[in-house]
Structure 1
Amino acid sequence: MEADKSLGKYWLYFFLWLGLLVTLMVVYREFFWIALPGVVTFFAKGLDLI
Structure 2
Amino acid sequence: MEAKRSAGKYWIYFFLWLALIITMLVMPGARPFFWLALPGVCTQFSLAMNII
Would you call these one fold, judging by a TM-score over 0.5? yes
Larger Rg: 2
Aligned residues: 49
Query: Aligned pair 1:31/2:33, yes or no?
Result: yes
Q: In the TM superposition, what is the alpha-carbon distance from 1:43 to its structure 2 partner?
A: 0.2
Identity %: 53
Matching residue of 1:12: 12
Which residues of structure 1 form unaligned runs of 5+?
Answer: none
| Counterpart amino acid of residue 47 in structure 2 | K
Which residues of structure 2 form unaligned runs of 5+?
Answer: none
